[in-house]
Amino acid sequence: MKLQQLLSYTRKAVDDYNMICQGDKIAVGISGGKDSLTLLYALHGLRRFYPQQFSIYGVTVDLGYDSFDTAPIADLCQRLQVPYTVVRSDIARIIFEERKESNPCSLCAKMRKGALNQAIKDLGCNKVAYAHHKDDLVETMLLSLLFEGRFHTFSPVTYLDRMDLTVIRPLMYVSEKDVIGFQHIMDLPVQKSPCPADGYTKRQSVKELLDRLNREYPGAKDRMFRAILNGNLFSEKK
């Protein structure tokens, strides 16, 4: 996927769900993965021609792994002229050494979002952009169905009243395969996740299930995504 196509998908999502307003200060949560780096490029490109003027700020929560290097991300942000903030934390040590969590993902996500949201408020931002793409929305719907017994998934726009902060998901029309293609074309400085639980989660299992379904029933993933849009299955969970 080339940059022009990425910007087209991003513009459509932003317009369809009124994600961006005049004067917005938007933080981009950058994990170092392909999705968040693609989102950074998308919003950087969009702001050059979008009729509503907005600013973006890159923010990374460093979980405390020695092998995680934020320097390549900082270099990219500098090239794109995007202010970049790294939030240092001991989340990895707390979860794996102190608490020795056997199922660490939920607590990690909660602590990471808490640190991220506080940094975002300190920067004076009123919105935060998450890099959830089309596949993420479908996988979350399946996770909800299989483990909660209900149909719902991420909402394109969610207002967090406790933080007075709005979450937007501008990559919701972009497939993971297109993100991978963009990663290779742009040679993004992707940082491999150092988390020992990476690849061993319920989400990974559902991702593999969805891939098998899509191979056996070509187009199943796209039809599930259309069902989400047509059925308005978006969750308003804060």
Three-state SS for the chain is: CCHHHHHHHHHHHHHHCCCCCCCEEEEEECCCCHHHHHHHHHHHHHCCCCCCCEEEEEEEEECCCCCCCCHHHHHHHHHCCCCEEEEECCHHHHHHHHCCCCCCHHHHHHHHHHHHHHHHHHCCCCEEECCCCHHHHHHHHHHHHHHHCCCCECCCEEEECCCCEEEECCCCCCCHHHHHHHHHHHCCCCCCCCCCCCCCCHHHHHHHHHHHHHHHCCCHHHHHHHHHHHHCCECCCC
Whether residue 133 is predicted with pLDDT greater than 80 in this model: the reply is yes
**Token digits of residue 74:** 């900082």
Alpha-carbon distance values, 180 to 10, 39, 138, 157, 187 (Å):
16, 12, 17, 24, 10
Q: What is the pLDDT of residues 192-226, one digit of tens each?
A: 877 777 766 788 899 999 999 999 999 999 999 99
Whole-angstrom Cα distance, residue 213 to residue 217? 6
Write down the pLDDT at residue 231: 84
- pLDDT band at residue 110, thresholds of 50, 70 and 90? confident
Q: Please say if the pLDDT value at position 234 is more than 80.
A: no
Q: Do the beta carbons of residue 128 and residue 165 sit within 8 Å?
A: yes
Q: d(Cα 175, Cα 180) in Å, to the nearest integer?
A: 9
Could you identify the residue written with the tokens 């459509």? Answer: 12
pLDDT at site 238:
39
Cα–Cα distance measured from residue 74 to residue 211, given in angstroms and rounded to the nearest whole number = 34
Instruction: Count the neighbouring beta carbons within 10 Å of the beta carbon of residue 150.
Output: 10
Q: What is the mean pLDDT of residues 118-127?
A: 94
Q: Going from the N-terminus, what domains does the chain have, and what CATH number goes with each?
A: 3-231 (3.40.50.620)
What pLDDT, on the 0 to 100 scale, is given for residue 199?
Answer: 61
Q: How many CB atoms sit inside 10 A of residue 149's CB?
A: 7
- pTM (two decimals): 0.90
Rounded Cα distance, 89 and 3, in Å? 33
CB 43 within 8 A of CB 56: yes
Q: What is the C-alpha separation between 235 and 238, in angstroms, rounded?
A: 9
**Side-chain-facing half-sphere of 223: CA atoms under 13 Å:** 7
Question: Which one-letter amino acid corresponds to residue 35?
Answer: D
Residue 14 has pLDDT above 80, yes or no: yes
